[in-house]
Amino acid sequence: MVLIGFALLAVAMHGRDSLVTGHPYERGLRVGTSMQQAQRARQLGLSAQISWHAGLLSVHLRPAPADPLLHLRLRHPLRRSGDLELVLQRSAPGVYQATAVLDPVVYAAQLQGSDWSLTGRWREDTPTTLWPGIADASGDAPQDD
């Protein structure tokens, strides 16, 4: 019984409390920035079609922005180590691409340009449209097993 008590104490002391946000002020700043970026995307009338085939991830933006590079964040629903941060290069007007190895899960996707962002949920086997919206700015994901 004593050993179980010490084991529970060790877990409590070293485990992460996912209900407590470490930096609420910084999280608030990220939410504010996300709102501004979503508003800018709405003003520009942006939407993006995201797809993946044979290791090549493609994003088709309408209307085509001037950004030479875009940043795509894919948050894995089960483990933080499965999150991806990709830099997409423009291959044609409104078309951006990068290579990626993906898990067969539904990712929370956030696509960012210079001053705008689009968000949505996406699975690699289903082309999906991303729209202006507020990303979950917490950055929290379940811990790896």
Q: Where are any strands of DSSP class E within the chain?
A: 47-53, 56-62, 69-75, 84-92, 95-99, 106-112, 117-123, 128-130
- Look-up: residue for tokens 């993906």? 102
Domain boundaries, the chain: 27-130
Q: Is the pTM of this model over 0.75?
A: no
| Fold held by 27-130 | Immunoglobulin-like (2.60.40)
What confidence category does residue 7 fall into, taking pLDDT thresholds of 50, 70 and 90? low
Nearest to 107 by CA among 137, 72, 58, 69: 72
The share of the chain scoring above pLDDT 70, in percent, equals 70
